[in-house]
Amino acid sequence: MTHAAPPFDVTRIREDFPILSTRVRGLPLVFLDSGASAQKPRVVLAAMTRFLETSYANVHRGAYHLSEVATEAYENARAAVARFLNAATPREIVFTANATAGFNLLAHSFGPSCRAVVVSEMEHHANLVPWQMLRDRAGVELRICRVTDAGELDLDHLASLLADGRVGLVSVTHMSNVLGTVTPAERIVAMAHAAGARVALDGSQAAVHRRVDVQALGCDFYVFTGHKLYGPNGIGVLYGRLELLEAMPPFLGGGDMISEVTLSGFVPASVPARFEAGTPPIAEAVGLHAAIDYVSAIGMGAIEAHERRLTDHAMARLSALPGIRVLGAAQDRGGVFSVAVDTAHAHDVATLLDRRGIAVRSGRHCAEPLHARFGVESTCRASFGLYTTEAEVDAFADALAEAREFFR
């Protein structure tokens, strides 16, 4: 007998996050910067503390009890990530330091096999700069897919970039960290595969807000980071099809990524160990496992439905404010809103919002070319989490209106 997940109760869920009871300048904290790094529920904090207090040791190398326990916990985390993404096997999951490390690994170990790589104008620097470095280092051509005025990927332009059959990889975001745009991943994968190219998706935002099934998407690589998924910082994930990972050379050299070493050379370990040189993020993997269990118990479908309601409400409120420009108007978007106020710089607006206890990000959000594409120097970004409330969205909108008047 299957049991349905309990109804989504954001008030009850907020009780799981101790930091949300914090007061800022005497006011309740309104935390709207989850897109940069999400807050952590008690179960994540407790799991890591319990592991460090009772079970910590280095993994894979010790023949003693604590090392065996730690290794089991570390590999159980890998299996949990595989289930979360619906990977075919845990061997397709590589732990990295963060999403940036995942893309650098791809650029070094898979990128040189490509004649050309396609990225888009809306990419986070983590999915742009490694490919620029590959271009400069190895001469791999870098092609940039345009973004429409609505903030959507220009699929006609993508088709033209793929037409000559030279592209080895299309590496694009699954959900923009600036526009909230959710890209049509299945269609992108189909187009790329038809042209003989592989596909990597940056899921740093998408994996937090929606259920991700890498087998259903058909992508070849998928990257996300733990600290946005209510887990700890210092751990990220690279999913790769097993046959592709097995054909890729190691990125970093050192301990644990080898099966044999002599003074004249080495033999790399099997996948995924060959990509996890040195002591890995062990306690962080335990924390990520706890975070995945936490969101899975709530239900990614329930989280998505809650955040869709918030997104619709935010779009209605923000689009009605005079002098407030919301970047992007994609048909499918998530709870990320980057706004420009016509009377003030984003940093000044964010500082004033902080006086109201509202935490938002200001700047270019590691997406400088995208801001240039839309003709803005910088924006204030509100990004939602599963604990965000409609009242917090209203507080953000009201504070923006006040800020515009204040700086006139």
Q: Let me know whether 279 and 311 are in one domain.
A: no
Q: Let me know whether 214 and 74 are in one domain.
A: yes
1 inside domain:
no
pLDDT value of residue 2: 46
4 inside domain:
no
CATH of the domain at 328: 3.90.1150.10
Residues in contact with 70: Cβ distance below 8 Å, sequence separation at least 6, in sequence order: 51, 55, 56, 57, 58, 59, 282
Q: Let me know whether 209 and 352 are in one domain.
A: no
Residues in contact with 112: Cβ distance below 8 Å, sequence separation at least 6, in sequence order: 134, 138, 140
CATH of the domain at 218: 3.40.640.10
Q: Let me know whether 375 and 273 are in one domain.
A: no
pTM of the entire predicted model: 0.97
Q: Let me know whether 362 and 260 are in one domain.
A: no
pLDDT value of residue 215: 98
Task: Measure the CA–CA gap between 95 and 396, rounded to whole angstroms.
Answer: 36
3 inside domain:
no
Q: Let me know whether 234 and 304 are in one domain.
A: no
Range of the domain at 225: 46-296
pLDDT value of residue 4: 58
Q: What is the mean pLDDT of each run of 10 residues along the chain (408 residues)?
A: 70 98 96 98 98 97 93 98 98 98 98 98 98 98 98 98 98 98 98 98 98 98 98 98 98 96 97 97 98 98 97 97 97 97 97 97 98 97 98 98 93
pLDDT value of residue 7: 81
- Asked which of 233, 265, 296 is the last residue of a domain, the reply is 296
How far apart, in Å, do the first and last CA atoms of the chain sit? Answer: 61
pLDDT value of residue 64: 96
332 inside domain:
yes
Q: Which two tokens stand for residue 369?
A: 């070319």
DSSP class per residue in 233-263: SS-EEEEE-HHHHHHSPPSS-STTSEEEEET
- Asked which of 263, 296, 329 is the last residue of a domain, the reply is 296
Q: Shortest CA distance to 204 belongs to which of 134, 122, 143?
A: 122
Task: Measure the CA–CA gap between 226 and 233, rounded to whole angstroms.
Answer: 6
| CA separation, residue 357 to residues 377, 382, 399 (Å) | 25, 13, 10
Query: Kindly report the CA angle at 167 between 162 and 170, in degrees rounded to 5?
Result: 85
Residues in contact with 232: Cβ distance below 8 Å, sequence separation at least 6, in sequence order: 40, 44, 48, 226, 281, 283, 284, 287, 288
Q: Let me know whether 173 and 318 are in one domain.
A: no
- Asked which of 231, 262, 296 is the last residue of a domain, the reply is 296
144 inside domain:
yes
Strand order through the sheet with 324-326: 324-326, 336-341, 379-383, 361-363
DSSP 379: E
Task: Measure the CA–CA gap between 94 and 250, rounded to whole angstroms.
Answer: 12
Q: Let me know whether 276 and 320 are in one domain.
A: no
Q: Let me know whether 224 and 160 are in one domain.
A: yes
Q: Let me know whether 189 and 288 are in one domain.
A: yes
2 inside domain:
no
Task: Measure the CA–CA gap between 128 and 294, rounded to whole angstroms.
Answer: 32
Number of domains, the chain? 2
DSSP 181: B
200 inside domain:
yes
5 inside domain:
no
Q: Shortest CA distance to 291 belongs to which of 91, 96, 92, 81?
A: 81
Residues marked as catalytic: 366
Q: Let me know whether 380 and 323 are in one domain.
A: yes
Q: Let me know whether 36 and 53 are in one domain.
A: no
